[in-house]
Structure 1
Amino acid sequence: MTDLRVGVGTSEHRDAVEAGRSAAEQAVRGLGGEPPALVLMYATACYDLPALLAAVRAVTGDAPLAGASSSGQFSTGRLIEPGRGVSVLALSAGPYRFGAASVTGMRADAFSAGRDVSRGAMAAAGPTRGPHSALLVFSDGLAGDPQGLLNGIYQVTGAAVPVVGGAAAADRELTETLVFHDDRVFGDGAVAVWIDAPRPLRVVSGHGWQSHGMPLLVTNVDGPVVHEIAGRPALEVYQENFRYEDPMQELPTPRSQGYHSAHAFGLIEPDGTQLIRGAFVDDDGLIRTFTPLPPFSAVQIMSADQDDLLDVCGPVVADALAVEDPRVMLTFSCAARMDILRDRAPEEATRLQAAAGPVPTFGFYTYGEFARSTGVSGYHNATLTALAL
């Protein structure tokens, strides 16, 4: 069995072609002469993305490429701020077999998109299956129902195949978000990478958010709009559970600087854990979530401060690296975390790499994170997720 080789490259050059070429050349050099078997690319949406992708592919060749537009990137302890830069990861085959596929049409039918993209990625990895597998997923961050995408994936993979990844972002703006597959840049879709492995692959997550008060029932919801909680106006109930003296200062609106606040909903799972669902007040004074809450679901109001969010880095890394001979840690963090961390945002990248030691970290800031390890659920907001290879 050959060892996995890893190369990481970054560039903040303003010219897309120069940035792509430089980052790709750095990444390929890290493989020590071995050809890349998989390339991951994250980039600001401010670039000419087709030109950027072409420049990267001119260096990496026809190796499968997957990735997404970002709201900032981080690797080997360094943060690239939103609106800047590209990050490229090159992997040799090592003990793994990779297969990539993509679909469009998430807005029309997210469930079918999830089913089709997972089948396509599995087929691209070849006709034989390794003893263990995982699915790496990137999706358009503004294209509808990401949990529906996961539901479709689950129908194909079942509970045995963990899922990890992130929803594409757009530099902290709610504008077009895009995914990358080989030579294509597109929205309203998803890209998946099937990973066959000789050992179990461990997907982990952690958020650092703290719950307040008793569980509450969502009694009136219309897609992303939450009208009532426990039979009362949702905004009224939400504010009652804030732990700050001036709650409206912490609850953002579309016209405020960033959508994310230090409060969120925690969707209660059967095991008692919470999936974080970020929320904001729209121009009509209604509470909206970035991912719809199911009708009659149980939630708690969650809060977080900067130390809460940063303190979760160490445990997530330790859990992810509790596998045999890890060589790289793929990590996905949320733009909501960056909004709350503010000037301490670079600390997250530093802490992740410090906890990982000699294992390089590679990730981007998303508009939602995938981390499904057992059941169907596994789409998160404001959460840190990871997979070590």
Structure 2
Amino acid sequence: MPVEIPAPRPAAATATEPLRTGVGYSDAADAVEAGRAAAAEALAGLQGYPPELIIVYTSVSYDLIALLHAVRRATGKAPLVGATTSGQFHDGRLIDPGLGVSVLALSAGRYRFGVASVTGVTEDGDDAGQRLARAARAAAGPEPTPHAALLLLTTGLAGHQQELLNGVHRVLGAPVPVVGGSAGDDRLLIRTCVFENDNVLTDGGAAGVWIASPDPLSVVAEHGWYDVGLPLLVTKSDGLVIQEIAGRPAAEVFREHFHDDVDFERPGLIKPAPGYLSAYAFGLIQPDGSKLVRGAYIDEDGQLKTFSPLPLYAPVQIVSCRAEDLLRVTGDVVRRSLAGRDASVLLAFSCVARLDVLAEQGAREAALIQDAAGEVTTFGFYTYGEFARTTRVAGYHNATLTAIAL
């Protein structure tokens, strides 16, 4: 499948020039007005420096083509990526699902950016990941830099996110970390979109930004979930359906770990099916003992399903969390991301499941991120899954906070 690779853009500043940032936001009802206003405010923050990367996060409620064209008319030929969301946050402010568009404008500073996109994630995620990694790297230009990272945005309902990462890893290997998130759609679970320049990609699309850097780039992820049972093995599965755990019916094993006061009807939760609970999930045990959180739910037929397949014989633990557990890790993620860096912006990705668990405390996560970042600009969105691949192939998460500082 052909991939269109945009011509490389030369950096507009020297390697010693600091990265300039500008953030704009609008909740205007009209897509054109909202896009134009948010883009203009973001560009004003650059104080005359030319934009070298534009990132757009928006509610799916807009006419997305009209909104994107309005942003592009303001920002010109600067490479652009973005995603629909289930909430956004920047500068300590939470933008609830269903509202507004946020735009981040970045100058070049010490970095070079290369933007690309692919389709076909659902058909062959591994191949799509390979194509995207090669295209984004090529778009950044031929001049090598010692270090790089890949910012990855995907449609959130494709269901093949780890396969996409597998393909990226085949091309880039362990030295290039990957960070990003899967697009949301204001909790509707109907259609998610990602953006690349003038293109709006729906299910099966992915966009990437190659970030070429003279210094190492660090991707950080923490979740705050805790074990509520002993390690178990997935003994029978079929795609997204987990049929048996430890030789027993999977849904039965999953339910055994629920607390007595479980409320299946609390309003505001994403409910892909009756029986979904944001506060219970699987912890996929990694070789070093850490866990990747994978969301799960019991559907109307009593089947236990996940949002990304769990491998047969995968070691797992049922995990749970409370609002205070999720908030506890927030400052640590930010501080670790910023450690040793003279950063200008923190790009963060948090799961809408975290927002569900936080409930009336939802705004605290964005505030804590900004408190820990100090004067550094913060910019992020609530996802249907997060990417944080560091030294190993695995790196697709649910209900996790991930970040990178530039």
**TM-score above 0.5, yes or no:** yes
Q: Structure 1's 99 and 253: CA in aligned 2 closer, same or farther, altered over 3 A?
A: closer
CA-CA distance at 1:175 after TM superposition:
0.6
Residue 25 of structure 1 is matched in structure 2 by: 40
Q: Confirm whether residue 217 of structure 1 aligns to residue 229 of structure 2.
A: no
Whether the 8 Å CA contact 2:227–2:319 is kept in 1: the answer is: yes
- Aligned pair partner of 2:272 in 229, 239, 254: 254
The list of structure 1 runs, each at least 4 consecutive aligned residues, that deviate by more than 4 angstroms after superposition, is 245-253
- TM-score (ref. length: structure 2): 0.93
- Code of the residue aligned with 2:180 in structure 1: it is G
Inter-partner Cα distance in structure 1 for 2:149 and 2:335: 19
Q: Confirm whether residue 74 of structure 1 aligns to residue 92 of structure 2.
A: no
Deviation by residue 1:269-304 (Cα, 9 ceiling, x = unmatched): 000001001111111011111111111000000000
Q: Which runs of 5+ in 2 are unaligned?
A: 1-15
- Aligned pair partner of 2:304 in 275, 281, 287: 287
CA-CA distance at 1:41 after TM superposition:
0.4
Inter-partner Cα distance in structure 2 for 1:64 and 1:248: 43
CA-CA distance at 1:244 after TM superposition:
3.7
SS at match of 1:214: coil
Whether the 8 Å CA contact 1:122–1:194 is kept in 2: the answer is: yes
Whether the 8 Å CA contact 2:159–2:307 is kept in 1: the answer is: no
CA-CA distance at 1:169 after TM superposition:
0.6
- Code of the residue aligned with 2:396 in structure 1: it is Y
Please give the root-mean-square deviation of Cα atoms over the aligned residues, in Å: 1.5
- Code of the residue aligned with 1:65 in structure 2: it is L
- Aligned pair partner of 1:198 in 192, 214, 219: 214
Q: Structure 1's 320 and 367: CA in aligned 2 closer, same or farther, altered over 3 A?
A: same
Q: Confirm whether residue 268 of structure 1 aligns to residue 285 of structure 2.
A: yes
Inter-partner Cα distance in structure 1 for 2:265 and 2:230: 24
Inter-partner Cα distance in structure 2 for 1:247 and 1:25: 44
CA-CA distance at 1:237 after TM superposition:
1.0
SS at match of 1:382: coil
Inter-partner Cα distance in structure 1 for 2:122 and 2:345: 33
Of the structure 1 ranges 21-30 and 240-249, higher mean CA displacement relative to structure 2 is found in: 240-249
CA-CA distance at 1:239 after TM superposition:
1.7
Inter-partner Cα distance in structure 1 for 2:272 and 2:288: 34
Inter-partner Cα distance in structure 2 for 1:73 and 1:248: 26
Residue 73 of structure 2 is matched in structure 1 by: 58
Residue 250 of structure 2 is matched in structure 1 by: 234
CA-CA distance at 1:167 after TM superposition:
0.5
CA-CA distance at 1:322 after TM superposition:
0.7
Inter-partner Cα distance in structure 1 for 2:262 and 2:396: 30
Q: Confirm whether residue 377 of structure 1 aligns to residue 394 of structure 2.
A: yes
- Code of the residue aligned with 2:60 in structure 1: it is A
- Aligned pair partner of 1:352 in 369, 380, 384: 369
Once the two structures are superposed, the pairs formed by residues 1-389 of structure 1 within 5 Å of their partners are: 1-187=16-202, 188-246=204-262, 254-256=272-274, 259-389=276-406
Whether the 8 Å CA contact 2:189–2:272 is kept in 1: the answer is: no
CA-CA distance at 1:261 after TM superposition:
2.0
Q: Structure 1's 179 and 259: CA in aligned 2 closer, same or farther, altered over 3 A?
A: farther
Inter-partner Cα distance in structure 2 for 1:383 and 1:139: 16
- TM-score (ref. length: structure 1): 0.97
SS at match of 2:187: coil
Q: Structure 1's 253 and 73: CA in aligned 2 closer, same or farther, altered over 3 A?
A: closer
Inter-partner Cα distance in structure 2 for 1:29 and 1:72: 24
Inter-partner Cα distance in structure 2 for 1:252 and 1:283: 15
CA-CA distance at 1:253 after TM superposition:
5.3
CA-CA distance at 1:93 after TM superposition:
0.3
CA-CA distance at 1:246 after TM superposition:
4.2
Whether the 8 Å CA contact 2:280–2:321 is kept in 1: the answer is: yes
Aligned length: 388
Inter-partner Cα distance in structure 2 for 1:70 and 1:9: 16
Q: Structure 1's 248 and 29: CA in aligned 2 closer, same or farther, altered over 3 A?
A: closer
Inter-partner Cα distance in structure 2 for 1:185 and 1:275: 30
Deviation by residue 1:134-180 (Cα, 9 ceiling, x = unmatched): 00000111113100000000001000000000001110111111000
SS at match of 1:285: coil
Inter-partner Cα distance in structure 1 for 2:379 and 2:57: 10
Whether the 8 Å CA contact 1:252–1:281 is kept in 2: the answer is: no
- Code of the residue aligned with 1:280 in structure 2: it is Y
